[in-house]
A and B are shown apart, each in its own frame.
Chain A
Amino acid sequence: MRDRIRKLIAERKVVAVDVDTLTDTSDLYEAGLSSFASIQFMLALEDEFDIEFPERMLTRKTFVSIESIDRSIAELIGEQV
């Protein structure tokens, strides 16, 4: 799942740096994730994983790193099954 997240970050040019320079815990906002790009990124994640982020997850903390996104998506997919 983390690879799919990384692929999206690269494809959608979500951050200002090369995705390969990011670790799973790198702060995406520090890497240049803007508020506009973050929304576009969320829509792309919803589409890719066929999920909808509930209101409680729409916070900065959810999207701060590849690890935190992975955890949130896993939780949502877990709820579906």
Chain B
Amino acid sequence: MPVASPTIEILRAPAERMRGVAEIAARHSGEVDREGRFPQEAVDALKAERLLGVMVPKRFGGEGLSLIETAELCTILGQACGSTAMIYAMHQIKASSLVSHGGSSPWHADFMRELVEQQHLLASATTEGGIGGDLRNSICAVNVADGRFTLEKDATVISYGLYADAILVTCRRSPDAQSSDQSMVVVKRGDYTLDKTTGWDTLGMRGTCSEGFRLVSAGDAAQIFPQPFSEIAAQSMLSASHILWGAVWFGIAADAVARAQAYVRAAARKQPGSLPPGALRLAEVVAMLQDMKASVIAGVVRYEAAMSRPDELSSMGFAAEMNNLKVTTSQRAAQIVTHAMLITGLSGYKNDTPFSVGRHLRDVTSAAIMISNDRILSNTSNLLLVSRFDTSLVN
């Protein structure tokens, strides 16, 4: 009697799978950018390669990838299409909140299993009309009665909201809670309706489709995270956001530098024996890229040292360092891509050459304003009134 052999799913290494997705993303990046449309082909490929649940711990069916391993995946994708990479990073930031805070809640643990099985794409609804990008305050509140919740939000930005399978929504903990006393709720497709309120015709990152919606939702009260949102924001969202965004921007910057290098090498081959005019600037921009890489890696090292200590993750010194990581990498990325354009000249400025860096430049300008650097610096300046920065080289 034949015995069915157990099915063992052997997945290739995540980075190898991501390189395949990046090829697809690169093929469609021009059109996604021109038409400002969702990168459906690349997101389908991410799902087919089972890359959406990689951060989920193995005990819930995932691959238990660390933040640095996930950051590398963001960088690979960022070299192909900034919008797709940012969508992937935003999804993983939401996933990291589930991983860090959902394990002890049966509903969220089940949801993690479901995320892996069905490759759910997670979106975020933190921005709100009347509050703007200050994600640590909410106007809307979740209402709980008889084990069910209802929640309505004027969400002025939900990136790829129409294409997501679930949305993590911030709100006040109850209708009588203060604006800073917040919860986060997981609403699944079917739990909510979205009425579009604003569009997304932007300079760059045109494929993220970060439109505004009126969100109306209802579901099981167990879908509300048991921890206050303040803990989630401080202990997982802040570091995951700034590290994974930095990884995306590094990918975009690295691809622009690769194009600049290809341009200089082509020029060198045409004029043997002499150094092309852009060669010196190339050396300069490679140094800038290396410096940016060091910032991202230092951020990861700092995070890994703090990750198992909730007190450290909630400390002001840690928040200040993570804030600085975002400000520094966002500025650096824009400088690097601008530099790459100086090297590639008209060939880089045009949209239809192998050396084009226009999309990179437009995409990367979003870095300084997605959570405005001014808001972050003002927050850090407040922290520095009491917190003393770390003067050691090695912690």
Which A residues fall within an 8 A CB radius of B? 16, 29-36, 39, 42-43, 46, 53, 55-56, 58-61
Residues of A within 8 A of B314 (CB): 59-61
Complex contact A35–B388 (CB within 8 A): no
Q: A43-B385, A55-B387 are in contact. Are A60 and B317 (CB under 8 A)?
A: no
The answer to whether A29 and B180 have CB atoms under 8 Å apart is: yes
Given A39-B383, A59-B315, A61-B314: A30 touches B177 (CB 8 Å cut-off)? yes
Mark contacts of B226-238 with chain A using CB atoms, 8 A cut-off: 1 yes-contact digit, 0 otherwise: 0010110010000
In the bound assembly, the distance between CA atoms of A61 and B311 in angstroms comes to 8
**Minimal Cβ-Cβ distance residue in A for B177:** A30
Count contacts on B: residues with CB < 8 A to the other chain. 24
From 234 to 285 in chain B, residues with beta carbon under 8 angstroms from any chain A beta carbon are 234
In the complex the two chains form, is B181's CB within 8 Å of A32's CB?
yes
In Å, the complex CA distance between A35 and B379 comes to: 9
Chain A residues, Cβ within 8 Å of B198: none
Q: Are A34 and B180 in contact (CB under 8 A)?
A: yes
> What CA separation (Å) do A29 and B178 show in the bound complex?
9
Contacts of A53 in B (CB 8 A): 386
Report if A58-B315 is in contact (Cβ < 8 Å); known contacts: A35-B379, A39-B385, A42-B386: yes
B316 interface residue per 8 A CB criterion: yes
Are B382 and A32 in contact (CB-based, < 8 A)? no
Query: Residue B105 at the A interface, CB < 8 A?
Result: no
Within 8 A of A (CB), among B204-246: 228, 230-231, 234
Q: A58-B387, A59-B315 are in contact. List 7 more A-B contacts (CB 8 A).
A: A30-B177, A30-B178, A30-B181, A31-B178, A32-B180, A34-B137, A55-B315
Per the bound structure, the CA–CA distance linking A60 and B386 in Å amounts to 13
What are the interface flags for B375-395 relative to A under an 8 Å C-beta threshold, 1 for contact and 0 otherwise?
000010011011110000000
CB distance from A51 to the nearest CB of B (A): 12
User: Are B177 and A58 in touch, CB under 8 angstroms?
Assistant: no
Q: A34 CA to B136 CA in the complex, in Å?
A: 9
B contact residues around A42 at 8 Å (CB): 386
CB-CB < 8 A to B178: which residues of A? 16, 30-32
Q: Let me know if A35 and B386 touch, CB within 8 A.
A: no
Q: Nearest chain B CB to A16's CB is how many angstroms away?
A: 5
- Chain A, Cβ-Cβ closest to B385: A39
Which of B177, B178, B388 counts the most chain A CB atoms within 10 A? B178
Give B340-371 as 1s and 0s: 1 = Cβ < 8 Å from A's Cβ atoms.
00000000000000000000000000000000
Knowing A29-B181, A32-B178, A35-B136 are in contact, say whether A60-B382 is a contact too (CB < 8 A): no
State whether B388 touches A55 (Cβ < 8 A).
yes
27 examples of A-B residue contacts, CB within 8 angstroms: A29-B180, A29-B230, A30-B173, A30-B178, A30-B181, A31-B178, A32-B178, A32-B179, A32-B181, A35-B136, A39-B385, A39-B386, A43-B385, A46-B386, A55-B315, A55-B316, A55-B317, A55-B387, A55-B388, A58-B315, A58-B386, A58-B387, A59-B314, A59-B316, A60-B234, A60-B314, A61-B314
A-B pairs with the 9 shortest C-beta distances? A32-B178, A58-B316, A60-B314, A30-B181, A59-B315, A59-B314, A42-B386, A39-B382, A59-B311
| Interface-centre pick from B180, B230, B314, B383 (highest chain A CB count, 10 A) | B180
Q: Mask for B23-34, Cβ within 8 A of A = 1, else 0?
A: 000000000000
User: In the assembled complex, which residues on chain A have CB atoms less than 8 Å from the CB atom of B388?
Assistant: 55
Render B290-325 as a binary contact track against A, CB cut-off 8 A, 1 for contact: 000000000000000000000100111100000000
Q: In the assembly, what is the distance between CA of A30 and CA of B181, in Å?
A: 5
Q: Which residues of A are found within 8 Å of B379, using beta-carbon distances? A: 35
Nearest chain A CB to B86's CB is how many angstroms away?
A: 26
Smallest beta-carbon distance A63→chain B, Å:
11
Distance in Å: Cβ of A68 to nearest Cβ of chain B: 12
Residues of chain B in range 118-146 having any CB-CB distance to chain A below 8 Å: 136-137
